[in-house]
Structure 1
């Protein structure tokens, strides 16, 4: 068993004890050393971050999350933009986008936009506030672990920073069609995006789980001291990172109550099925029109590539590059990346032959998992354009069926990345010996001692 690397930013007293962790990237069990505030511990084999401590792991995040909730209210309740042309003035808010999609019969697209820009961020902010405030109370409110579990999972689907980029693209594209005046919601969105990122960087989620454990609000009774030795059948909880033996707790994590599996269930088959679905949907997403601009009674439907060509013709080269990258290259990159990683799980041979590029493939997985959300910028832009530009025969923008197929591609590829387990690549390269035959207690102790002494 190896000892993880700890990178110290500022010296200070130790705030965490040594902990046994399984790397989510390569599946190696290792000891995360005792750490002071503002330190980061990385996997000694693949470099994946295992723990990052903060000087104030909850206080700063509490204040910033409260500010986020206030800004979020301004965002959804105030004017987004005021557009005018031919003497007609039209004011819109963020609610206008999903409403316009419903009016055109694209209600699944309206649900996706509303969920990623309203429901998921609200659940994340409200849940985080509930937990952080609750932990400061003498008597704990009920179900802190369940609320924190949901709020952390909602982070994957809260896409306010992508919405900000969509507003910027819509504002730039509308410059030649109408006169635009920005409303308070745009400024609130810009500040909110910064505050949300700041709040996420200031939070130590594992410190929250440890405080919930210390206050006794866990799914099952916890041992007095966390074990520092690997036990047969041990696995890491994907949500709170606790290493446990799920068979001892009906397959659940004793701390947060989430289902625990040694590897994600049926990972390869689910990922492959979702990738195939994404490839099939990618075709109509690029063939069918995503929007139609009707000006003075005439207009032609525009596909994704058609929109890029129009931006190039208007000499908006940076914007054309941005739309091409987010709407064409990113989905394609995700599909190709996932296919290559699925192929990597079937590699056999020696560790040297099969494991040469494992570290790079693990990094590729986390890039693929992070970058996919940015493809939603095209969906948010089309939602805003459809709501903003409704001036009868003067000029009107209508969303098309291609946008629905493209949104499905984005969502399917996000699910595919979530379903894939990068540890399977290291298993295939025979880098995780506990997956084959469990070594004896003596050999486990010897391996740990040698690794610690060499560090």
Structure 2
């Protein structure tokens, strides 16, 4: 088994129930065995499917002001953004809150349910590969924070009622987190092996070049041209992610350029009684602070302003030190990479909040909230930085240490 963060190969013996294997070099988690994990994950996935249906069928949030009422559901935010001409934001919200979560739940149900069969279908590994790729774009937990921010912004302006749909989304968030905590990739792939769905006990010749599969984690040999396919999941094999540094540099540069209009242009405009005032991200933070909502103001400041900056600066630090083959603080740089990977999605709070406010506050001359061009730039920054962190290969950092010591990481 090879660590996907530093590239060090390990001979991991069969684990006891509840035991975890960690990388001896960077302390990354390699594999955790829990004998009941797949059963629990299947139960949580079933509960998540029920919660997702309830969230789409039950009333979500309603608002009443000056005798006018407006009701919003999960889909109305997408529709409102599209009607306002912001189809780009509508697609982002639809993918991250509707399409990705529903596909993730469906794939997990089919995979985990199929593994319970005596003879599972041969296409289950392909479906699991797809579910792992789409899971990073399912942002139910971030959407819930966006709901909370939108609610706090509205309670002083109008009468706001929280429907059962919000509680269903909250339950969906919990089931999604619990399912993810139960699913260990290596456990799933070994379950495929035990059911005869994929080959097992693939022999590895240590004298030939080896490579870790980016999809299933299996270590196998490359051919004489340094290429090949994983014998377990059939994915293309690469010793390192192709053109990792150049692609990451291009994405980081693009995100840095877009960060300027994302903060200069308004993300939304509140029109009340014929008068409108545009709001940038920073002015929204200031408005929350002026209203005495300091915890919420700090949350939005951190998620929407500081996190994108820290991600960009952090990626630049990783790129420069990796290109210069520096062995400086490798463990700390690896931890920095993990943080960048984790916090990437949380900057979407503002985008989800805008989708909720635009759907709710459409009361004609009384009050209307319109999205702004800055929201498109900001959503682009979040998405591009997420792709950038995924394109960066942290093993390149540790390759410098291997070259310095005159050996490959084994």
Cα drift, residue 226 of structure 1 = 4.2
Q: Post-superposition shift, 1:61?
A: 0.4
Contact 2:204 2:220 in 1 (8 A): no
| Aligned residue number for residue 324 of structure 1 | 301
| Equivalent residue in structure 1 for 2:369, among 373, 378, 397 | 397
**Distance (whole Å) between structure 1 residues aligned to residue 404 and residue 99 of structure 2:** 40
**Aligned twin of 1:72:** 52
Determine which of 317, 321, 324 is the counterpart of 1:340. Answer: 317
* Counterpart residue number, 1:204: 184
Which residue in 1 is equivalent to 2:234? 257
Could you say which residue in structure 1 is the equivalent of 2:78?
Answer: 98
**What is the match of residue 211 of structure 2?**
235
Q: Is the counterpart of residue 303 in structure 1 residue 280 in structure 2?
A: yes
Structure 2 residue aligned with 1:27: 7
Map 1:5-404 → 2, pairs under 5 A: 21-218=1-198, 222=199, 225-227=201-203, 230-247=206-223, 251-348=228-325, 354-404=326-376
**2:204, 2:221 within 8 Å by CA — same for their partners in 1?**
no
Q: Assess if the C-alpha contact under 8 Å between 1:52 and 1:204 holds in 2.
A: yes
TM-score when normalising by structure 2: 0.96
Q: Larger relative contact order (C-alpha < 8 A, sep ≥ 6)?
A: 2
1:429 Cα shift? 3.1
Kindly indicate whether the alpha-carbon contact (under 8 Å) linking 1:426 and 1:432 is maintained by their aligned counterparts in 2. no
Gaps of 5+ in 1: 1-20, 349-353, 439-443, 449-455
Cα distance in 1, alignment partners of residues 236 and 279 from structure 2: 45
- Cα distance in 2 between the residues matched to 1:207 and 1:24: 16
Gaps in structure 2 of 5+ consecutive residues: none
Mapped contact 2:100–2:135 kept (Cα < 8 A): yes
1:293-350 deviation line (CA, Å, top 9, x unaligned): 11111121110011111111111111111111010000111000000000111334xx
Which segment is superposed worse, 354-363 or 396-405? 354-363
| Cα deviations by residue, 1:67-100 (Å, 9 ceiling, x for unpaired) | 0011011112221101100001111101010101
Deviation string for 1:423-453 (max 9, x for gaps)?
11111233686xx777xxxxx9xxx8xxxxx
Q: Is the 8 A contact 1:28 1:432 kept in 2?
A: no
Q: Distance in 2 between matches of 1:55 and 1:210?
A: 12
Shift of 1:152: 1.2
CA distance in 1, matches of 2:153, 2:237: 47
Indicate if the aligned counterparts of 1:292 and 1:301 stay in contact, CA closer than 8 A: yes
The separation in 2 between residues aligned to 1:382 and 1:403, in whole angstroms, is 8
Change (3 A) 1:176 1:231: farther
**Native 8 Å contact 1:246 1:253 kept in 2:** no
Check conservation: 2:121, 2:197, Cα contact below 8 A: no
How far does the alpha carbon of each residue in 1:329-373 deviate from its partner, in whole angstroms, 9 at most, with x for none? 00111000000000111334xxxxx43410000011011011010
Secondary structure of 1:292's counterpart equals strand
What secondary structure does 1:32 align onto? coil
State the partner residue of 1:11: none
Cα distance in 1 between the residues matched to 2:147 and 2:201: 50
Task: Tell me by how many angstroms 1:233 deviates.
Answer: 1.8
* Alpha-carbon distance in structure 1 between the residues aligned to 2:122 and 2:236: 20
CA contact (8 A) 1:60 1:203 kept: no
Q: Which secondary structure does the structure 1 equivalent of 2:26 belong to? A: coil
Secondary structure of 2:136's counterpart equals coil
| Moved beyond 6 Å, runs of 4+ | none
Aligned counterparts of 2:205 and 2:295: Cα–Cα separation in 1: 53
Aligned-residue CA RMSD in angstroms? 1.8
Q: What is the distance in 1 between the residues matched to 2:71 and 2:363? A: 12
Q: How far apart, CA to CA, are the structure 2 residues paired with 1:259 and 1:377? A: 35
Match of residue 424, structure 1, among 386, 390, 396: 396
**Cα shift at 1:227:** 4.2
Residue 30 of structure 1 and its aligned partner are, at CA, apart by 1.5
Q: 1: CA distance between counterparts of 2:125 and 2:29?
A: 23
Assess, with a 3 A threshold, how the Cα gap between structure 1 residues 268 and 109 changes in structure 2: closer, same or farther: same
Q: CA deviation at 1:407?
A: 0.3
CA deviation after TM superposition for structure 1 residue 142, in Å: 4.1
Contact 1:347 1:429 in 2 (8 A): no
Separation in structure 2 between the aligned mates of residue 45 and residue 327 of structure 1, nearest angstrom? 34
Count, aligned residues: 409
User: Greater CA radius of gyration, 1 or 2?
Assistant: 1
Alpha carbons of structure 1 residues 306 and 231: separation in structure 2 relative to 1, 3 Å: farther
Contact 1:29–1:230 (CA under 8 A) maintained in structure 2: no
